[in-house]
Amino acid sequence: MSLLIRGSQILLPDGEFLLGDVLIENGKITQISNKIINDQAEVIDAKGLTLLPGVIDPQVHFREPGLEHKEDLFTASCACARGGVTSFLEMPNTKPLTTDQIALDDKLQRASQKSLVNYGFFIGANGKNFAELNFVHPTCGIKVFMGSMKGDLLINQSEVLEQIFANGDRLIAVHAEDQERISARRKLFQVDQLKNPDISLHSQIQDNEVALLATQKAVQLSRKYNRRLHILHLSTAEEVAYLRQYKTPLITAEVTPQHLVMSTNDYDRIGTLAQMNPPLRSLADNRALWQGLRDGILDFIATDHAPHTLLEKGFAPLIDVKAETNAPSAFLEPAHVPSGMPGVETSLAIMLTQAMQGKCTVAQVSKWMSTNVAEAYKISNKGKIAIGYDADLVLVDLQTYKPVLRAELLTKSGWSPFEGWNLTGWAQYTFVHGAIAFANGKVNPEVRGQKLTFIA
C-alpha cells in the first residue's frame, strides 16, 4: 500500500521545513521531495498543515490489566491517536505488577490485540526480582519508584537501590521523590488525621526538597556505577540547578507539560484534578524548567498519563456525557484522592500552543517529544521524518485554535486538567506505520500498532 502526503510543511531532521510531499510505501517513508508523482498512491491533501514525527510518549499509566475501569489499552491508544501520539512506553504499576517475564508477555499480547499505536513496557523493581530486571525482554528499561508509592514497587532502601544500580547495564528510570521526607512531612502536617485536607497541602508535603533529595541520590548512584539513568517528570528549579552541575552523558531527564504550564495556582481552578506526583510547583519552578529544556538540561517531554475516574477524584460524573461543558462537574467530598491526570490527548497541542506563543519553536517541540525520546531509549527507526524511517507521523493544524472539550475526549477517564484551554496544533491525521489511525475527528479502530524494538 502506498500513501502520498501532499503539500504540507515537512519538518526535516535538521530542524528546517520543506514545503512538499512525502511518499509512504509498506509502512516506511520512501521519498521526501518538493513534488512527488505517483499515480498508484492514495493521496492526502495536506495543504496548510504541518507534518511532524509522531509523538513518542515515554511515560504513561494505561491501567491494564487490573484497573480497566480507569483506562485500558484500547481506549488509551485511541486517545493517543487523537493526540498525535504514535508510540508509548507504559509503567509497571498495574495488577498484577509487571515484574517478571510472564507479566510482560501478557501486556505485550494484550497490546498486540488492542493498541492502535506502537507500544513498549517497563519492568518494575520490587526489591526481589534482581535477575528479572536485566533479563526480561523486550523492555525499554527498569522502573524504580523511590517514593510516592505503596506496596511492592516502593524502593526506598539505600542498600536495595545500590544493588539495582550495581548490577546490569539496562536503563534505570526513577520516580525521584524521597519517601522518608514525605512520611515525615505527612506527620508534620497531620494530613492523615484530616477528613478533608486542603488539596494544596499536597505540594507542601511533597515539597521541592523531597524531589531534590531523591534526584541527588539517583545521580550519585549513576555516577558511582557508571549506570544509564533517566529521571522521570522532573519538577523543580533545584533539580535543574543540580543537574547543571552533575549531569553526565549517561543521564537524561524529562518534564511533563503540566509542570511547564500549570502551577500551584491551579488548585483553586480544578481542585483535586490538579493532584499528581510529583506535585505541581510554583511559577518560578515553571520558568526554571523551561530554561532547563531550552538549555538541554532536560531532554524530553512525557505526559505521565495517569487517569482516575472523576468519582475517584471527588467529582460527580456528568449526567449528560455529551454535554459540551468546560466546567468541572459538581464537586463532592475532597477526602483523600489518588494522584494523577490524563494527558496523551492534549500534550502535543499544549506544547505547540506554547511554541506559537514564543516559548519555543515547533522544531524544538518535535525534538523534545519525538527525536530525543527515540534516541534516549534506542528505539529503532522512530522520531524523524527521514527516508527508511517508519511512517509514524502526525499532520497538525497550526492555524486553528480549538478548546479542550470533555465531550470529545477519548480517554476512558473522561476528563482533562486542560478542559476549556484554547489550543492550536491539534492532530488532523495520525499515521501509524503508514496506516491512518486518526482522521477527520475519528479514530480507525481497526489499526494496530507494533511492538517497539529497543537497540541493545
Question: What is the full DSSP assignment across 281-313?
Answer: --HHHHHHHHHHHHTTSS-EE---B----TTTT
Maximum C-alpha span of the chain: 71
Residue 243: closest CA among 235, 169, 277? 235
Cα 165 from Cα 154, distance rounded (Å) = 15
Q: Is 30 helix (H, G, I), strand (E, B) or coil?
A: strand
Which amino acid appears at position 97 of this protein? L
CB-neighbour burial class of residue 439 (10 A; exposed 0-12, middle 13-18, buried 19+): middle
Neighbours of 180 (CB within 10 A): 12
- What value does the CA radius of gyration of the chain take, rounded to a whole number of Å? 21
Question: Is residue 304 annotated as part of the catalytic site, yes or no?
Answer: yes
Q: Is 33 helix (H, G, I), strand (E, B) or coil?
A: strand
Which amino acid appears at position 328 of this protein? P
Catalytic choice (304, 320, 392, 397): 304
Per the CB < 8 A criterion, the answer to whether 146 and 156 are in contact is: yes
Per the CB < 8 A criterion, the answer to whether 58 and 76 are in contact is: no
Per the CB < 8 A criterion, the answer to whether 451 and 433 are in contact is: no
Instruction: Kindly state the cell numbers that stand for 323.
Output: 454535554
- What are the residue numbers of the active site? 304
